[in-house]
Amino acid sequence: MERSNSTMQTDFVEVTLEEGTSGFIKVHKVVPPPYKSSFQKFFAKVKEILFPDDPLRQFKGEPLQRKLILGAQYLFPLLQWVPTYNLKLFKSDLISGLTIASLAIPQGISYAKLANLPPIFGLYSSFVPPLVYVVLGSSMDLAVGPVSIASLVLGSMLNEEVSPTAESDLFLQLALTSTFFAGIFQSALGILRLGFIIDFLSKAILIGFMGGSAVIVALQQLKGLLGIKHFTSKMALVPVMSSVFNNIDEWSWQTIVMAICFLVFLLGARHVSIKKPELFWVSAGAPLVSVIISTALSFAIKAQRHGISVIGKLPRGVNPPSADKLLFRGDHLPLAIKTGLITGILSLTEGIAVGRTFATMRNYKVDGNKEMMAIGFMNVVGSTTSCYVTTGSFSRSAINHNAGARTAMSNVVMSVTVLVTLLFLMPLFQYTPNVILGAIIISAVIGLIDIPSAYLIWKVDKFDFVVMLAAFFGVIFISVQIGLAVSVALSVLRILLQITRPKIVMLGNIPATNIYRNLHHYKEAIRVPGFLILRIKAPINFANITYLNERIYRWVEEEQDTIKENVCLQFLILDMSAVSTIDTSGVSLFKDLKNALTMKGVSIVLVNPLAEVIDKLQKSDDANDFIRAEYLFLTVGEAVASLSSTMTRQTPTVQDARWNIPL
């Protein structure tokens, strides 16, 4: 904390107390802030915006060798735990890695289908990205891989212009290109330390968006659960339900029976794990068990002969290189960039939120900017190795945490398990019914509908609840991107309203104290005759000076129309404690108010203007016209006590108005 070179100045002012006696009160004067050059101010502002956590402070006072080690650990977080890694830690990570692999394999195949991609790409995306994250990521609990929301958004946005069946090669190229741009955008946010951009996705938006997306994802699975062959590619509620009931003749009772049985099994396993967290392995292993049982059953009864569709033959082998499939020219490039931008923001928000959640539970810190770079780089690398958008999955991360993961090595174990599957076990999935993939997706996304949090938002903030509903219904009835855009627009509108219509409250004195509080909040607070005391609770800038001018002037007129205690309004006191900054337009506000109120015989008094505010006001008042030292005070109490002795009465015959002024 910087210290001012100015010395605190005090004066003693004589005031009239109760019973006609007089006394003195100490009044502290407002002093200017210490001098700083324009470069120092600019540097301090940039540092506060881009480096609020001051990442370089760990290097201060350290020898060169130690600085090099710290620098390497900062760039590659795995160097923080690898030197002390031991067999005991590996045992815990091995168990958790195998556990999340049992969930990642069926989920990966399912989410790839959700993104309208070949199922094998879900496994590809569960192999390479986790290895990249282990090197660059700072979370010990995050389990990396495909997630439902990003898969849904990627598939639906690309499907609007390109058919995944008629133009499958082009669709795949656009999916990989979108992943590349998502990674570039994510890593750029981390490198430039612009992570505050994702903060525009508030909790209300995310709850509404994820809830709406979960409903749409679940409804889309009706195609597989009912055995419908001709199904709409649109993602809105009305087209999906129309497609369901317009194709009743395609419903397969065999598929429906299998869907109900395995859906009940999966939801039951999820319920058991929720009620008894120590049985986390029940929900973790249920998808893989479902795949094994359904595959065996499908092979035994020759499911295709009974109208039950299966995945079919999957290629064996590790991720093929895909750098040559990236499209950087052509008519569809804007679509790939737009899709990458939106899926990048969503996956980044989910990954960081999940990482921070479990870091808080285990009492360690996750660096948001490093997480952005890690997630971004793994998507860039993934786009060149046949992977689509990946991030931290909440369901897999929760199981990873509950299974006792101690470090990010659990991601390596999961990747190795997926590698073994790619090399040796792919033929086993040939007879896996598509209906099982739909059931796995539904059991996974149902947890995204967070009703308790929605109810809490309703209780706390009704506008946030409206934003949440806009995201929810926008996604359900229109489209994923429109629902997201509308909810973000409403949130930005609220911010703009808060900026252009700042909060102003009228203060009154708590009897027998020197405390001044909101008159409408504290009923015991009373007005001080001859004073209008207002507190401005926002920065003053070009966007709100007109409102502030009109609102304050109206308050002055209303106060003058109601004369209290036979003393007319003589002082307007503005408490500036909450005004963090002011621009040149804001400076003009005080000039205009001073000129207008002087005509009414009212003087402006400023209380506790902060360093930047008083500095700009004094620099703009070379003639010492409206920022006079005798009208600057540190507290409202000192201002009232000091100025009350200078007040003039409305008429010579009026009795003196007195109130308690504590010393």
Which residues are paired to 536 by β-bridges? 504
The two beta strands, 571-575 and 632-633, are: unpaired
* Percent of the chain at pLDDT exceeding 90: 30
Tokens encoding 391: 């991030």
- For 29-39, what is the mean pLDDT? 76
* 662 pLDDT tier (thresholds 50, 70, 90): very low
Q: Domain-by-domain residue ranges, the chain?
A: 13-29+502-644, 39-75, 80-496
- For 355-384, what is the mean pLDDT? 88
Place of tokens 């470090």: 407
Rounded Cα–Cα distance for residues 104 and 117 (Å):
17
- Residue 440, pLDDT score: 87
* 340 pLDDT tier (thresholds 50, 70, 90): very high
* 15 pLDDT tier (thresholds 50, 70, 90): low
Query: 361-365, 370-374, 538-542, 597-601: which has the minimum mean pLDDT?
Result: 361-365
Condensed to tens digits (0 to 9), the pLDDT of residues 516-572 reads: 999 889 989 898 888 999 999 999 999 999 999 999 999 888 887 776 555 688 899
Residue 659 above 50 pLDDT?
Answer: no
**Sign for the pseudo-dihedral over CA of 301, 306, 308, 314:** positive
By the 10 Å C-beta count (0-12 exposed, 13-18 middle, 19+ buried), 174 is classed as buried
- For 158-173, what is the mean pLDDT? 90
Residue 222 above 70 pLDDT?
Answer: yes
Residue of higher predicted confidence among 180 and 234: 180
- Residue 58, pLDDT score: 78
Tokens encoding 332: 């569809």
Residue 1 above 80 pLDDT?
Answer: no
Q: What is the CA radius of gyration of the chain?
A: 32
Rounded Cα–Cα distance for residues 344 and 364 (Å):
25
- For 180-208, what is the mean pLDDT? 87
* Percent of the chain at pLDDT exceeding 70: 92
Condensed to tens digits (0 to 9), the pLDDT of residues 312-336 reads: 888 889 999 999 999 998 889 999 9
Rounded Cα–Cα distance for residues 184 and 345 (Å):
11
- Residue 14, pLDDT score: 56
Rounded Cα–Cα distance for residues 659 and 215 (Å):
63
By the 10 Å C-beta count (0-12 exposed, 13-18 middle, 19+ buried), 193 is classed as middle
Rounded Cα–Cα distance for residues 510 and 525 (Å):
5
Place of tokens 């849904």: 152
pTM for the model: 0.79
Residue 360 above 90 pLDDT?
Answer: no
Residue 173 above 60 pLDDT?
Answer: yes
The two beta strands, 531-536 and 504-509, are: antiparallel
User: How far is CA 568 from each of CA 16, 344, 466, 596, rounded to the nearest angstrom?
Assistant: 18, 61, 45, 17
- For 483-496, what is the mean pLDDT? 89
By the 10 Å C-beta count (0-12 exposed, 13-18 middle, 19+ buried), 391 is classed as buried
Cα 303 to chain center, whole Å? 46
Cβ-proximal residues to 389 (8 Å cutoff; 6+ apart), any chain: 146, 150, 151, 154, 178, 179, 182, 343, 344, 347, 379, 382
Residue 207 above 60 pLDDT?
Answer: yes
Rounded Cα–Cα distance for residues 127 and 377 (Å):
15
13-29+502-644 topology per CATH: Transcription Regulator spoIIAA (3.30.750)
Contact between 351 and 129 (Cβ < 8 Å): no
Residue 40 above 90 pLDDT?
Answer: no
Residue 343 above 50 pLDDT?
Answer: yes
Q: Which of 55-59, 292-296, 305-309 has the highest mean pLDDT?
A: 292-296
Residue of higher predicted confidence among 200 and 548: 548
Condensed to tens digits (0 to 9), the pLDDT of residues 628-652 reads: 778 888 899 889 988 887 775 444 3
- For 284-311, what is the mean pLDDT? 85
> Helix/strand/coil (H, E, C) string of 123-184?
HHCCCHHHHHHHHHCCCCCCCEECCHHHHHHHHHHHHCCCCCCCCHHHHHHHHHHHHHHHHH
Condensed to tens digits (0 to 9), the pLDDT of residues 397-437 reads: 888 888 888 899 999 999 999 999 999 888 888 888 888 88
Rounded Cα–Cα distance for residues 189 and 377 (Å):
11
Tokens encoding 180: 């590349």
Mean pLDDT of the chain: 85
